[in-house]
Structure 1
Amino acid sequence: MADERARHFRRLRRLRNSARRWSVLAGGLGGAAAVLTPYAGLGLADAAWAGAAGSAIAVAAWRWVDHRALAAVPPPPALDPAEAAARSRARLVAAVERLPVGPGVVAEVRRVRSRLALRGTAAAEPWARLDRAALTLAGLAGRLTGLAEPAVREAAEADRSLRELATRVASVERAAKLTPQSTLNEVHATLVAQLEDGVAAYERLVVAAAGYVAEDARPNTEHPAAARLTEATDLLHGVASALAELRTPLRAP
Protein backbone atom coordinates (compact mmCIF):
# COMPACT_ATOMS: atom_id res chain seq x y z
CA MET A 1 0.00 0.00 0.00
CA ALA A 2 1.41 3.37 -1.01
CA ASP A 3 1.98 6.16 1.49
CA GLU A 4 -1.25 8.16 1.67
CA ARG A 5 0.62 11.39 2.36
CA ALA A 6 2.86 10.96 -0.68
CA ARG A 7 -0.16 10.03 -2.79
CA HIS A 8 -1.96 13.20 -1.67
CA PHE A 9 0.92 15.45 -2.69
CA ARG A 10 1.40 13.62 -5.99
CA ARG A 11 -2.25 14.18 -6.85
CA LEU A 12 -1.96 17.84 -5.85
CA ARG A 13 1.12 18.24 -8.04
CA ARG A 14 -0.59 16.60 -11.01
CA LEU A 15 -3.60 18.90 -10.68
CA ARG A 16 -1.39 21.98 -10.51
CA ASN A 17 0.60 20.94 -13.58
CA SER A 18 -2.60 20.13 -15.47
CA ALA A 19 -4.12 23.50 -14.55
CA ARG A 20 -0.99 25.28 -15.77
CA ARG A 21 -0.99 23.40 -19.08
CA TRP A 22 -4.64 24.16 -19.74
CA SER A 23 -4.10 27.81 -18.76
CA VAL A 24 -1.27 28.13 -21.28
CA LEU A 25 -3.35 26.39 -23.96
CA ALA A 26 -6.36 28.59 -23.22
CA GLY A 27 -4.22 31.71 -23.42
CA GLY A 28 -2.72 30.64 -26.74
CA LEU A 29 -6.04 29.73 -28.33
CA GLY A 30 -7.75 32.82 -26.96
CA GLY A 31 -5.00 35.08 -28.26
CA ALA A 32 -5.05 33.40 -31.67
CA ALA A 33 -8.82 33.79 -31.89
CA ALA A 34 -8.63 37.45 -30.85
CA VAL A 35 -5.94 38.23 -33.42
CA LEU A 36 -7.12 36.17 -36.39
CA THR A 37 -10.86 36.84 -36.23
CA PRO A 38 -10.74 40.56 -37.24
CA TYR A 39 -8.66 39.82 -40.35
CA ALA A 40 -11.03 37.40 -42.06
CA GLY A 41 -14.31 38.16 -40.38
CA LEU A 42 -16.45 35.63 -38.61
CA GLY A 43 -16.44 32.29 -40.36
CA LEU A 44 -16.33 28.57 -39.67
CA ALA A 45 -12.62 28.64 -38.83
CA ASP A 46 -13.14 31.55 -36.46
CA ALA A 47 -15.93 29.64 -34.71
CA ALA A 48 -13.55 26.70 -34.27
CA TRP A 49 -10.85 28.97 -32.83
CA ALA A 50 -13.31 30.60 -30.46
CA GLY A 51 -14.85 27.27 -29.41
CA ALA A 52 -11.46 25.72 -28.71
CA ALA A 53 -10.40 28.78 -26.73
CA GLY A 54 -13.59 28.75 -24.67
CA SER A 55 -13.28 25.03 -23.95
CA ALA A 56 -9.66 25.40 -22.88
CA ILE A 57 -10.56 28.30 -20.59
CA ALA A 58 -13.35 26.25 -19.00
CA VAL A 59 -11.14 23.19 -18.45
CA ALA A 60 -8.38 25.37 -17.00
CA ALA A 61 -10.86 26.95 -14.60
CA TRP A 62 -12.11 23.53 -13.49
CA ARG A 63 -8.55 22.32 -12.95
CA TRP A 64 -7.73 25.33 -10.78
CA VAL A 65 -10.92 24.81 -8.78
CA ASP A 66 -10.03 21.15 -8.21
CA HIS A 67 -6.50 22.11 -7.25
CA ARG A 68 -7.67 24.67 -4.70
CA ALA A 69 -10.21 22.23 -3.25
CA LEU A 70 -7.58 19.53 -2.82
CA ALA A 71 -5.06 22.02 -1.43
CA ALA A 72 -7.61 22.99 1.23
CA VAL A 73 -7.80 19.38 2.45
CA PRO A 74 -5.29 18.67 5.24
CA PRO A 75 -2.70 16.12 4.11
CA PRO A 76 -2.65 12.75 5.87
CA PRO A 77 -0.17 12.42 8.73
CA ALA A 78 3.33 11.25 7.96
CA LEU A 79 3.78 7.49 8.00
CA ASP A 80 5.69 5.99 10.89
CA PRO A 81 9.20 4.92 9.74
CA ALA A 82 8.72 1.42 11.13
CA GLU A 83 5.41 1.02 9.32
CA ALA A 84 6.91 2.42 6.12
CA ALA A 85 9.77 -0.08 6.36
CA ALA A 86 7.31 -2.91 6.97
CA ARG A 87 5.28 -1.93 3.91
CA SER A 88 8.39 -1.70 1.75
CA ARG A 89 9.51 -5.11 2.97
CA ALA A 90 6.08 -6.57 2.25
CA ARG A 91 6.16 -5.17 -1.29
CA LEU A 92 9.64 -6.60 -1.85
CA VAL A 93 8.61 -10.02 -0.55
CA ALA A 94 5.50 -10.00 -2.74
CA ALA A 95 7.61 -9.12 -5.79
CA VAL A 96 10.09 -11.91 -5.08
CA GLU A 97 7.34 -14.47 -4.46
CA ARG A 98 5.94 -13.80 -7.94
CA LEU A 99 9.14 -15.19 -9.45
CA PRO A 100 9.27 -18.91 -10.34
CA VAL A 101 11.72 -19.70 -7.52
CA GLY A 102 10.54 -16.88 -5.29
CA PRO A 103 8.55 -18.82 -2.65
CA GLY A 104 11.45 -21.17 -1.99
CA VAL A 105 13.92 -18.30 -1.69
CA VAL A 106 11.67 -16.38 0.70
CA ALA A 107 11.09 -19.46 2.85
CA GLU A 108 14.82 -20.16 3.04
CA VAL A 109 15.59 -16.57 4.01
CA ARG A 110 12.98 -16.71 6.75
CA ARG A 111 14.39 -19.97 8.08
CA VAL A 112 17.92 -18.57 8.16
CA ARG A 113 16.75 -15.39 9.88
CA SER A 114 14.86 -17.34 12.52
CA ARG A 115 17.85 -19.61 13.10
CA LEU A 116 20.16 -16.62 13.52
CA ALA A 117 17.74 -15.05 16.00
CA LEU A 118 18.07 -18.14 18.21
CA ARG A 119 21.83 -18.49 17.87
CA GLY A 120 23.58 -18.85 21.19
CA THR A 121 20.49 -20.10 23.03
CA ALA A 122 19.43 -23.56 24.11
CA ALA A 123 16.71 -23.50 21.44
CA ALA A 124 19.17 -23.23 18.53
CA GLU A 125 20.01 -26.94 18.26
CA PRO A 126 16.40 -28.20 18.58
CA TRP A 127 15.34 -25.56 16.04
CA ALA A 128 17.93 -26.81 13.54
CA ARG A 129 16.74 -30.40 14.05
CA LEU A 130 13.15 -29.28 13.60
CA ASP A 131 14.11 -27.48 10.38
CA ARG A 132 15.74 -30.60 8.95
CA ALA A 133 12.79 -32.77 9.90
CA ALA A 134 10.29 -30.26 8.49
CA LEU A 135 12.15 -30.10 5.17
CA THR A 136 12.18 -33.88 4.98
CA LEU A 137 8.47 -34.06 5.70
CA ALA A 138 7.77 -31.38 3.10
CA GLY A 139 9.44 -33.57 0.50
CA LEU A 140 7.22 -36.49 1.51
CA ALA A 141 3.98 -34.53 1.87
CA GLY A 142 2.92 -35.07 -1.74
CA ARG A 143 2.87 -38.84 -1.22
CA LEU A 144 1.22 -38.84 2.20
CA THR A 145 -2.35 -39.25 1.03
CA GLY A 146 -5.32 -41.23 2.18
CA LEU A 147 -4.91 -42.48 5.73
CA ALA A 148 -1.77 -40.36 6.21
CA GLU A 149 -3.43 -36.98 5.59
CA PRO A 150 -4.47 -36.44 9.25
CA ALA A 151 -0.86 -37.05 10.28
CA VAL A 152 0.30 -34.34 7.86
CA ARG A 153 -2.14 -31.83 9.34
CA GLU A 154 -1.09 -32.78 12.85
CA ALA A 155 2.56 -32.34 11.88
CA ALA A 156 1.87 -28.83 10.57
CA GLU A 157 0.19 -27.86 13.84
CA ALA A 158 3.04 -29.39 15.83
CA ASP A 159 5.61 -27.52 13.75
CA ARG A 160 4.01 -24.16 14.52
CA SER A 161 3.64 -25.02 18.19
CA LEU A 162 7.25 -26.15 18.54
CA ARG A 163 8.57 -23.03 16.83
CA GLU A 164 6.57 -20.85 19.20
CA LEU A 165 7.95 -22.87 22.10
CA ALA A 166 11.50 -22.38 20.83
CA THR A 167 10.93 -18.63 20.69
CA ARG A 168 9.67 -18.67 24.28
CA VAL A 169 12.72 -20.67 25.36
CA ALA A 170 15.04 -18.08 23.84
CA SER A 171 13.11 -15.19 25.42
CA VAL A 172 13.15 -16.75 28.88
CA GLU A 173 16.84 -17.56 28.55
CA ARG A 174 17.70 -13.97 27.67
CA ALA A 175 15.57 -12.70 30.54
CA ALA A 176 17.26 -15.12 32.93
CA LYS A 177 20.66 -13.72 31.96
CA LEU A 178 19.51 -10.22 32.90
CA THR A 179 18.02 -11.20 36.25
CA PRO A 180 19.38 -14.57 37.34
CA GLN A 181 16.64 -16.06 39.48
CA SER A 182 15.97 -19.66 40.36
CA THR A 183 12.36 -19.38 39.18
CA LEU A 184 13.33 -18.35 35.65
CA ASN A 185 16.01 -21.01 35.51
CA GLU A 186 13.51 -23.68 36.49
CA VAL A 187 11.00 -22.43 33.93
CA HIS A 188 13.71 -22.36 31.29
CA ALA A 189 14.76 -25.93 32.06
CA THR A 190 11.15 -27.09 31.85
CA LEU A 191 10.61 -25.36 28.52
CA VAL A 192 13.84 -26.78 27.10
CA ALA A 193 12.79 -30.30 28.14
CA GLN A 194 9.40 -29.81 26.50
CA LEU A 195 11.07 -28.56 23.33
CA GLU A 196 13.48 -31.49 23.21
CA ASP A 197 10.65 -33.99 23.71
CA GLY A 198 8.51 -32.29 21.08
CA VAL A 199 11.29 -32.21 18.47
CA ALA A 200 12.12 -35.85 19.15
CA ALA A 201 8.46 -36.79 18.68
CA TYR A 202 8.36 -34.79 15.44
CA GLU A 203 11.44 -36.62 14.17
CA ARG A 204 9.82 -39.95 14.98
CA LEU A 205 6.76 -38.85 13.01
CA VAL A 206 8.95 -38.01 10.01
CA VAL A 207 10.63 -41.42 10.20
CA ALA A 208 7.21 -43.07 10.32
CA ALA A 209 6.09 -41.00 7.34
CA ALA A 210 9.15 -42.08 5.37
CA GLY A 211 8.38 -45.70 6.22
CA TYR A 212 4.79 -45.25 5.08
CA VAL A 213 5.92 -43.80 1.75
CA ALA A 214 8.47 -46.58 1.27
CA GLU A 215 5.95 -49.33 2.00
CA ASP A 216 3.30 -47.67 -0.13
CA ALA A 217 5.67 -47.44 -3.09
CA ARG A 218 7.08 -50.97 -2.79
CA PRO A 219 5.38 -53.30 -5.31
CA ASN A 220 4.41 -56.85 -4.47
CA THR A 221 5.82 -58.20 -7.73
CA GLU A 222 8.71 -57.39 -10.02
CA HIS A 223 8.75 -53.88 -11.42
CA PRO A 224 7.09 -53.74 -14.87
CA ALA A 225 10.11 -52.04 -16.41
CA ALA A 226 12.44 -54.79 -15.20
CA ALA A 227 10.08 -57.47 -16.54
CA ARG A 228 9.94 -55.82 -19.96
CA LEU A 229 13.71 -55.49 -20.07
CA THR A 230 14.09 -59.18 -19.23
CA GLU A 231 11.69 -60.14 -22.02
CA ALA A 232 13.51 -57.90 -24.49
CA THR A 233 16.85 -59.43 -23.49
CA ASP A 234 15.54 -62.97 -23.98
CA LEU A 235 14.12 -61.98 -27.35
CA LEU A 236 17.44 -60.56 -28.52
CA HIS A 237 19.27 -63.68 -27.37
CA GLY A 238 16.81 -65.83 -29.31
CA VAL A 239 17.16 -63.76 -32.48
CA ALA A 240 20.95 -63.86 -32.21
CA SER A 241 20.93 -67.64 -31.81
CA ALA A 242 18.63 -68.04 -34.81
CA LEU A 243 20.84 -65.85 -36.99
CA ALA A 244 23.89 -67.80 -35.93
CA GLU A 245 22.23 -71.10 -36.90
CA LEU A 246 21.17 -69.74 -40.30
CA ARG A 247 24.67 -68.57 -41.13
CA THR A 248 26.32 -71.85 -40.10
CA PRO A 249 26.80 -74.06 -43.26
CA LEU A 250 25.14 -77.45 -43.19
CA ARG A 251 27.54 -80.42 -42.93
CA ALA A 252 27.54 -82.98 -45.75
CA PRO A 253 26.15 -86.43 -44.79
Structure 2
Amino acid sequence: MASERAKHLKRLRRLHRSARGWSVRAGLLTGATAILVPYSGLGLPDAFWAAGAGGSIAIAIWRWMDLRAFRALPVPPEPDPALVGAQAREKLVGIVAKLPAGRTAIAEFGRQRESFKLRGLTVAEPWRRLDRASAMLAGLVGRLGPHAEAAVLDATVAEQSLRDLAQRTASVERAMSLGPAGDSLRPAHASLAAQLEQGVSAYEQFVTAAAGCVAEDSATIGNLADATAFLKGVAEAMSDLRSTPRASTA
Protein backbone atom coordinates (compact mmCIF):
# COMPACT_ATOMS: atom_id res chain seq x y z
CA MET A 1 0.00 0.00 0.00
CA ALA A 2 1.55 3.30 -1.16
CA SER A 3 2.04 6.03 1.44
CA GLU A 4 0.54 9.51 1.18
CA ARG A 5 3.99 10.91 0.37
CA ALA A 6 4.48 8.43 -2.47
CA LYS A 7 1.02 9.24 -3.88
CA HIS A 8 1.75 12.99 -3.68
CA LEU A 9 5.07 12.69 -5.53
CA LYS A 10 3.57 10.36 -8.12
CA ARG A 11 0.79 12.82 -8.90
CA LEU A 12 3.33 15.64 -9.09
CA ARG A 13 5.36 13.72 -11.68
CA ARG A 14 2.20 12.90 -13.62
CA LEU A 15 1.16 16.57 -13.75
CA HIS A 16 4.65 17.58 -14.87
CA ARG A 17 4.65 15.01 -17.69
CA SER A 18 1.19 16.10 -18.77
CA ALA A 19 2.12 19.81 -18.83
CA ARG A 20 5.29 19.13 -20.75
CA GLY A 21 3.51 16.84 -23.22
CA TRP A 22 0.81 19.39 -24.01
CA SER A 23 3.47 22.07 -24.40
CA VAL A 24 5.20 19.94 -27.03
CA ARG A 25 1.90 19.31 -28.85
CA ALA A 26 1.03 22.98 -28.76
CA GLY A 27 4.46 23.87 -30.17
CA LEU A 28 4.19 21.35 -33.01
CA LEU A 29 0.66 22.39 -34.00
CA THR A 30 1.50 26.09 -33.76
CA GLY A 31 4.60 25.61 -35.89
CA ALA A 32 2.69 23.58 -38.46
CA THR A 33 -0.02 26.23 -38.63
CA ALA A 34 2.51 29.05 -39.02
CA ILE A 35 4.13 27.25 -41.98
CA LEU A 36 1.13 25.77 -43.78
CA VAL A 37 -1.24 28.75 -43.62
CA PRO A 38 1.05 31.21 -45.49
CA TYR A 39 2.15 28.45 -47.85
CA SER A 40 -1.26 27.32 -49.11
CA GLY A 41 -3.56 30.06 -47.96
CA LEU A 42 -6.26 29.90 -45.33
CA GLY A 43 -8.71 27.07 -46.05
CA LEU A 44 -10.95 24.70 -44.14
CA PRO A 45 -8.14 22.25 -43.24
CA ASP A 46 -6.04 25.17 -42.00
CA ALA A 47 -8.87 26.16 -39.68
CA PHE A 48 -8.59 22.77 -38.00
CA TRP A 49 -4.82 23.22 -37.66
CA ALA A 50 -5.33 26.61 -36.07
CA ALA A 51 -8.07 25.35 -33.73
CA GLY A 52 -5.89 22.42 -32.67
CA ALA A 53 -2.96 24.73 -32.00
CA GLY A 54 -5.08 27.12 -29.95
CA GLY A 55 -6.68 24.32 -27.96
CA SER A 56 -3.31 22.72 -27.24
CA ILE A 57 -1.92 26.04 -26.03
CA ALA A 58 -4.90 26.50 -23.70
CA ILE A 59 -4.63 22.96 -22.29
CA ALA A 60 -0.86 23.38 -21.81
CA ILE A 61 -1.45 26.61 -19.88
CA TRP A 62 -4.05 24.88 -17.66
CA ARG A 63 -1.71 21.97 -17.00
CA TRP A 64 1.12 24.29 -15.96
CA MET A 65 -1.26 26.17 -13.69
CA ASP A 66 -2.38 22.87 -12.09
CA LEU A 67 1.25 21.87 -11.64
CA ARG A 68 2.14 25.18 -10.04
CA ALA A 69 -0.82 24.98 -7.65
CA PHE A 70 -0.02 21.38 -6.69
CA ARG A 71 3.64 22.21 -6.10
CA ALA A 72 2.54 24.82 -3.59
CA LEU A 73 0.94 22.11 -1.44
CA PRO A 74 3.06 20.72 1.42
CA VAL A 75 4.63 17.34 0.73
CA PRO A 76 3.50 14.70 3.27
CA PRO A 77 6.29 13.60 5.65
CA GLU A 78 8.13 10.32 5.38
CA PRO A 79 6.07 7.47 6.88
CA ASP A 80 7.22 5.80 10.08
CA PRO A 81 9.20 2.66 9.09
CA ALA A 82 7.69 0.74 12.00
CA LEU A 83 4.17 1.65 10.88
CA VAL A 84 4.96 0.74 7.27
CA GLY A 85 6.37 -2.60 8.40
CA ALA A 86 3.30 -3.31 10.53
CA GLN A 87 0.97 -2.51 7.65
CA ALA A 88 2.99 -4.73 5.32
CA ARG A 89 2.83 -7.59 7.81
CA GLU A 90 -0.92 -7.17 8.25
CA LYS A 91 -1.40 -7.21 4.50
CA LEU A 92 0.76 -10.32 4.13
CA VAL A 93 -1.07 -12.08 6.96
CA GLY A 94 -4.41 -11.22 5.35
CA ILE A 95 -3.28 -12.69 2.02
CA VAL A 96 -1.88 -15.85 3.60
CA ALA A 97 -4.99 -16.33 5.76
CA LYS A 98 -7.11 -16.60 2.59
CA LEU A 99 -5.12 -19.61 1.39
CA PRO A 100 -6.43 -23.14 2.18
CA ALA A 101 -3.75 -23.84 4.79
CA GLY A 102 -2.99 -20.19 5.53
CA ARG A 103 -4.46 -20.01 9.03
CA THR A 104 -2.63 -23.15 10.08
CA ALA A 105 0.64 -21.74 8.74
CA ILE A 106 0.11 -18.43 10.56
CA ALA A 107 -0.69 -20.20 13.82
CA GLU A 108 2.41 -22.37 13.47
CA PHE A 109 4.55 -19.32 12.76
CA GLY A 110 3.19 -17.62 15.87
CA ARG A 111 4.02 -20.65 18.01
CA GLN A 112 7.53 -20.83 16.59
CA ARG A 113 8.07 -17.13 17.26
CA GLU A 114 6.94 -17.45 20.87
CA SER A 115 9.16 -20.51 21.32
CA PHE A 116 12.11 -18.53 20.02
CA LYS A 117 11.45 -15.76 22.56
CA LEU A 118 11.55 -18.32 25.38
CA ARG A 119 14.75 -19.95 24.18
CA GLY A 120 17.26 -20.43 27.00
CA LEU A 121 14.63 -20.14 29.78
CA THR A 122 13.34 -22.94 31.97
CA VAL A 123 9.83 -22.51 30.55
CA ALA A 124 11.02 -23.36 27.03
CA GLU A 125 10.63 -27.11 27.51
CA PRO A 126 7.12 -26.97 29.10
CA TRP A 127 6.10 -24.57 26.32
CA ARG A 128 7.35 -27.03 23.68
CA ARG A 129 5.44 -29.87 25.31
CA LEU A 130 2.30 -27.73 25.46
CA ASP A 131 2.66 -26.90 21.76
CA ARG A 132 3.00 -30.56 20.88
CA ALA A 133 0.00 -31.61 22.99
CA SER A 134 -2.09 -28.75 21.58
CA ALA A 135 -1.28 -29.79 18.03
CA MET A 136 -2.23 -33.38 18.83
CA LEU A 137 -5.54 -32.30 20.35
CA ALA A 138 -6.31 -30.17 17.28
CA GLY A 139 -5.96 -33.28 15.13
CA LEU A 140 -8.31 -35.24 17.41
CA VAL A 141 -11.11 -32.70 17.80
CA GLY A 142 -12.94 -33.74 14.63
CA ARG A 143 -12.98 -37.38 15.72
CA LEU A 144 -14.09 -37.06 19.32
CA GLY A 145 -17.73 -36.46 18.51
CA PRO A 146 -20.20 -33.88 19.81
CA HIS A 147 -20.21 -35.34 23.35
CA ALA A 148 -16.66 -34.07 23.90
CA GLU A 149 -17.26 -30.47 22.79
CA ALA A 150 -17.55 -29.13 26.35
CA ALA A 151 -14.41 -30.95 27.45
CA VAL A 152 -12.44 -29.67 24.45
CA LEU A 153 -13.62 -26.12 25.14
CA ASP A 154 -12.43 -26.38 28.74
CA ALA A 155 -9.11 -27.74 27.48
CA THR A 156 -8.75 -24.73 25.19
CA VAL A 157 -9.33 -22.36 28.10
CA ALA A 158 -6.84 -24.33 30.20
CA GLU A 159 -4.25 -24.14 27.41
CA GLN A 160 -4.53 -20.36 27.25
CA SER A 161 -4.18 -20.15 31.03
CA LEU A 162 -1.06 -22.30 30.84
CA ARG A 163 0.42 -20.05 28.17
CA ASP A 164 -0.29 -16.99 30.32
CA LEU A 165 1.38 -18.75 33.25
CA ALA A 166 4.42 -19.56 31.09
CA GLN A 167 4.74 -15.90 30.08
CA ARG A 168 4.52 -14.81 33.73
CA THR A 169 7.16 -17.34 34.70
CA ALA A 170 9.42 -16.18 31.87
CA SER A 171 9.04 -12.54 32.96
CA VAL A 172 10.05 -13.40 36.51
CA GLU A 173 13.01 -15.44 35.27
CA ARG A 174 14.24 -12.56 33.12
CA ALA A 175 13.97 -10.21 36.11
CA MET A 176 16.11 -12.62 38.14
CA SER A 177 19.08 -11.73 35.91
CA LEU A 178 19.09 -8.09 37.08
CA GLY A 179 21.68 -8.74 39.76
CA PRO A 180 21.49 -9.40 43.50
CA ALA A 181 18.04 -7.81 43.69
CA GLY A 182 16.71 -10.60 41.49
CA ASP A 183 17.58 -13.28 44.04
CA SER A 184 14.46 -12.38 46.00
CA LEU A 185 12.37 -13.61 43.05
CA ARG A 186 13.71 -17.16 43.12
CA PRO A 187 11.02 -18.56 45.46
CA ALA A 188 8.25 -17.00 43.34
CA HIS A 189 9.86 -18.34 40.18
CA ALA A 190 10.16 -21.84 41.63
CA SER A 191 6.47 -21.80 42.63
CA LEU A 192 5.35 -20.63 39.18
CA ALA A 193 7.57 -23.17 37.43
CA ALA A 194 6.12 -25.99 39.57
CA GLN A 195 2.56 -24.91 38.77
CA LEU A 196 3.42 -24.74 35.08
CA GLU A 197 4.91 -28.25 35.14
CA GLN A 198 1.86 -29.61 36.95
CA GLY A 199 -0.55 -27.93 34.55
CA VAL A 200 1.27 -29.05 31.40
CA SER A 201 1.42 -32.63 32.71
CA ALA A 202 -2.33 -32.59 33.39
CA TYR A 203 -2.98 -31.18 29.91
CA GLU A 204 -0.86 -33.93 28.36
CA GLN A 205 -2.83 -36.54 30.30
CA PHE A 206 -6.08 -35.09 28.98
CA VAL A 207 -4.81 -35.25 25.38
CA THR A 208 -3.66 -38.83 25.95
CA ALA A 209 -7.12 -39.76 27.21
CA ALA A 210 -8.73 -38.10 24.19
CA ALA A 211 -6.42 -40.04 21.89
CA GLY A 212 -7.47 -43.23 23.68
CA CYS A 213 -11.12 -42.46 22.91
CA VAL A 214 -10.29 -42.04 19.24
CA ALA A 215 -8.18 -45.20 19.17
CA GLU A 216 -11.12 -47.24 20.50
CA ASP A 217 -13.32 -45.60 17.85
CA SER A 218 -16.16 -45.04 20.29
CA ALA A 219 -17.37 -42.24 22.53
CA THR A 220 -18.30 -44.33 25.55
CA ILE A 221 -19.30 -42.69 28.79
CA GLY A 222 -16.37 -44.27 30.59
CA ASN A 223 -13.79 -42.86 28.17
CA LEU A 224 -15.34 -39.42 28.30
CA ALA A 225 -15.43 -39.58 32.08
CA ASP A 226 -11.72 -40.38 32.17
CA ALA A 227 -10.93 -37.52 29.79
CA THR A 228 -13.03 -35.16 31.90
CA ALA A 229 -11.19 -36.27 35.03
CA PHE A 230 -7.87 -35.39 33.43
CA LEU A 231 -9.29 -32.06 32.36
CA LYS A 232 -10.41 -31.36 35.93
CA GLY A 233 -6.79 -31.75 36.94
CA VAL A 234 -5.89 -28.95 34.54
CA ALA A 235 -8.74 -26.81 35.86
CA GLU A 236 -7.63 -27.34 39.45
CA ALA A 237 -4.09 -26.31 38.55
CA MET A 238 -5.44 -23.14 36.97
CA SER A 239 -7.56 -22.47 40.05
CA ASP A 240 -4.43 -22.68 42.19
CA LEU A 241 -2.75 -20.19 39.86
CA ARG A 242 -5.61 -17.69 40.11
CA SER A 243 -5.60 -17.94 43.90
CA THR A 244 -1.87 -17.14 44.05
CA PRO A 245 -1.37 -13.45 44.97
CA ARG A 246 0.16 -11.50 42.12
CA ALA A 247 2.42 -9.74 44.60
CA SER A 248 4.42 -12.94 44.91
CA THR A 249 5.37 -12.76 41.20
CA ALA A 250 6.18 -9.07 41.12
TM-score bucket of the superposed structures, by smaller chain: 0.7 to 0.9
**Kept after mapping to 1: 8 A contact 2:175/2:182:** no
**Cross-structure match for 1:11:** 11
Q: Which sits farther off after the overlay, 112-121 or 197-206? A: 197-206
Name the SS for the 2:77 alignment partner: coil
Letter in 1 for 2:190: A
**Structure 2 unmatched runs, 5+:** 220-250
**Cross-structure match for 2:35:** 35
Root mean square deviation of aligned Cα? 2.9
Name the SS for the 1:181 alignment partner: helix
* Cα offset, 1:9, TM superposition: 1.6
Label 1:55 to 1:116 Cα distance change in 2 as closer, same or farther (>3 A): same
Larger Rg: 1
* Cα offset, 1:165, TM superposition: 2.6
Letter in 2 for 1:199: V
Letter in 1 for 2:157: E
**Structure 1 unmatched runs, 5+:** 219-253
Report whether the alignment pairs 1:204 with 2:205: yes
Q: Provide the rounded CA distance (Å) in 1 between the counterparts of 2:9 and 2:101.
A: 37
Q: Provide the rounded CA distance (Å) in 2 between the counterparts of 1:51 and 1:154.
A: 81
**Kept after mapping to 1: 8 A contact 2:22/2:56:** yes
Report whether the alignment pairs 1:126 with 2:126: yes
TM-score (norm 2): 0.72
Matches within 5 A, 1:87-102: 87-97=87-97, 101-102=101-102
Label 1:53 to 1:100 Cα distance change in 2 as closer, same or farther (>3 A): farther
* Cα offset, 1:173, TM superposition: 0.6
Report whether the alignment pairs 1:137 with 2:127: no
Label 1:17 to 1:191 Cα distance change in 2 as closer, same or farther (>3 A): farther
Q: Provide the rounded CA distance (Å) in 2 between the counterparts of 1:173 and 1:187.
A: 10
C-alpha distance after superposition, 1:214-249 (max 9, x if no partner): 45558xxxxxxxxxxxxxxxxxxxxxxxxxxxxxxx
Q: Provide the rounded CA distance (Å) in 1 between the counterparts of 2:154 and 2:57.
A: 70
**Cross-structure match for 1:116:** 116
Q: Provide the rounded CA distance (Å) in 2 between the counterparts of 1:27 and 1:145.
A: 81
Letter in 1 for 2:81: P
Number of positions where the alignment pairs a residue of Structure 1 with one of Structure 2: 219
C-alpha distance after superposition, 1:70-99 (max 9, x if no partner): 222222222223223333344444455555
Letter in 2 for 1:194: Q
* Cα offset, 1:208, TM superposition: 3.5
* Cα offset, 1:130, TM superposition: 0.9
* Cα offset, 1:154, TM superposition: 3.4
Q: Provide the rounded CA distance (Å) in 2 between the counterparts of 1:54 and 1:97.
A: 56
* Cα offset, 1:132, TM superposition: 0.3
Q: Provide the rounded CA distance (Å) in 2 between the counterparts of 1:35 and 1:116.
A: 77
**Kept after mapping to 1: 8 A contact 2:20/2:60:** yes
The percentage of aligned residue pairs carrying the same residue is 57
Q: Provide the rounded CA distance (Å) in 2 between the counterparts of 1:90 and 1:188.
A: 36
Deviating above 6 A after TM superposition, structure 1's stretches of 4 or more consecutive aligned residues are none
